[in-house]
Structure 1
Amino acid sequence: MQLKQVIIVHKAGDPMSKRWAEKCAQELEQLGCRVLLGPSGPKDNPYPVFLASVTQSIDLAIVLGGDGTALSAARNLAADRIPILAVNVGGHLGFLTESPDDFDSETVWDRLLGDRFAVQRRMMLQASVHEGNRTNLEPISDRYLALNEMCIKPASADRMITSILEMEIDGAVVDQYQGDGLIVATPTGSTCYTLAASGPIIHPGMDAIAITPICPLSLSSRAIIIPPGSVVSIWALADPDLSTKLWMDGVLATSMWPGQRVDIRMAECDAEFIILRKDYSYYQTLREKLQWAGARIQYGNHYRN
C-alpha cells in the first residue's frame, strides 16, 4: 500500500479521538504523506469535501471513533474503493473497529507500507425510491448506501405510529406487515438493529439479505434470509400522515409518499476494512461484544488440544 494521500477522520466532539487524529496526521506528514483531517458526526460529514478537493487517488482512510463513525465512512467511501482502517477511539461496542491496543503507531505505518495486513470486504445495500409498480425502474431519488441495514419505518414527533407495509421479492408478493417497520440488513448489520429485533446472526463472509419485521402485530411474521441477487420492493400503505421514512444505518435517507416504493438490493460496491489483528476471529468478536456466557455452570473442555 502507498501512503501518499490519506484521510483521517475523528469522532466529532470527542477530545481523545481528536488527539489521536492529530498525532497520526503529524506522523504521516513526516513520511511525506498529504493528510486530509476532519470530524465526523451527526452534524459533520467531511467526505464530500475531501473527495471533491483531491486530484489524485486516496490510499487510505483512518477512522477514529466507534461503529457509527465507521458506518459513515463506509457509506461515503465504498463507491471509490478506499480502504478503511477503523480504530475504536471514543466508541462503545466496536464491532467494526480495531482495538486501540492493536494500533501501535510506531509500527502500523511500516506494516501498511509493507502490505502486512488483511482486507475484509463486506457486502453493502443500495436503495432507491420509485413511483408505483415494479415495472417502473427509473428512480426518483438518489442512490442510498448502507453497510448495516435499510429500514422502512415511520417517524413522528408527537406519537408512535403503526406502519402497514407490503413487500415483494423479485416481483412476488410476500406479505403485508403491520407494526413498527421492516429492517432489510446485510450480514454485517445482522448483529445490530436486526439482532435487537430478534433477527438471525449471519457471518459477514457471506452474501445474503435478512428481512426482519420490527414488533409485528402478527405471530406469523418472521424474519427471512434471501439470496444477495434478490430485489426487495416495499410500499407504505395506509399512511395518511405521510410519516414513512427510509433510513440507512440509522440515518434518515428520504421520505416516502403514497404510491411510491423503495427497491433494495445488494450494492455494486463493497466496504473494505483493514484488519491488523493477527489472531482475528469473528466468533471471538461475537463472544466478547455480545457477552455470551454459555451455560450457567461452566464445564472445562479437556478434549480440546
Structure 2
Amino acid sequence: MTHSSATHTTDIAIIGAGPAALFAAFECRMLRLDCILTDVLDCVGGQCAALYPEKPIYDIPAHPSITGGDLIAALEEQIAPFNVPRLLGSRISQLEGEAGAFTLRNERGDVIHAKAIIIAAGAGAFGPNRPPLEGLDVYERSGSVQYYVKKRAAFEGKRIVVAGGGDSALDWALSLSDIAETLYLVHRRDRFRGAPETLAQIEAKIEAGAIEKIVPYQLHGLRGTDGQLSHVEVIALDETVRALEADVLLPFYGLSTDLGPVASWGLETQRSTIAVEPATMQTNLEGIFAIGDVAHYPGKMKLILQGFSEGAVAAHAAHHVARPDKALRFEHSTSRGQPGKV
C-alpha cells in the first residue's frame, strides 16, 4: 500500500515507540501536552516487541512475571484513551530548528513540527550480528535461520541449533528445549556467560538429555535444499567438522546498534548513547531530551523501570519548553483524574 507523506504539528515529538516511549507519551498527555510517537519499526514496542515478545520479564513493579508482548499491550491500553498519533515504519532522518520550533522529517517524507523532542530510541537502530556463513541470506529468507523468537510454538517438534554463550542463547535454549525434537547448544568456549541459576538449569537440561552441548565449536556452514536447512556444520579448534541435523538455526551473537542520523544532530554522544542531565533528562541541546537505554548519565542502569521514571522526568521538563508561559503544578494522578478526561 502506498503511503502519502503528511505534516503533523504537536507539542512533543517522541522518537521511538518502545516501553519508555509509550510511558513518556502517557506522562505527556497527563500534563495536557500533545505528542506523537515515531519509530523505524512498523509496530510499537521496540525491542520488547521485536526481540522477545514471549520472553518473561521479572523486574517490572507489580508484575512478578510478564512477557515483553504483554507489557507492551498493557502500556498501549494505558495510553489508549488519549488516541496518541503515531508515525511508524520510517526513521526520523532530519532535524532543524530550535527549542519551541523544531522541524523533523522521516525517510518517507512525513514532517513533524514540535516544540520539544524526547528521544527514546532504545539501543538506536538495531539489528542482529549475523554469522559469516556462505549462502546465509537464502536460509534467512526461508526462515531456516532466525535471530528472534517471536512465537515459541512455531518451534515445536523442530531440530534446533542455538549458537551463542550469553543470556539470550541460554534463555532460549532452556525455553525451546521443552518443545524441540532435538536442541544443540553451540559455543566457541566451554564456559557460558549467564546467571548462576541459569547455568545450573542448563546443566540440568544437558544431564537430562534435553540439550546437547557442542563446545568448543563455531558455526562453519549450512547445508540444505532451496533454502530449507538440513544440517548446520560446526568446526572445532582442531578443524574437526561436525554436521548437526537441523531444521532451524538461531544465532544469538548480540545486536549491532547505530544511532543513525541522530548522531549528526550535534548531541553529546558516547558509544551509541546520549549524555543527559538526570534532573531533567535534557541533552546538551535545549528542548531535546533523551530517556531509556539511549540516555546516559552517572549511575545509569539500563532497566525498563528506570526508563519509565525518566519518561516522567522528561515530560515534566519538556512542559517548560512547550508551554513556557504556563506554570506547571505537580499533581498525583489520583488528583488529576481519570486518563482520557484530562
The TM-score, its normalising length taken from structure 2, stands at: 0.28
Higher strand share: 1
Which has more radius of gyration?
A: 2
Q: TM-score, normalised by structure 1?
A: 0.30
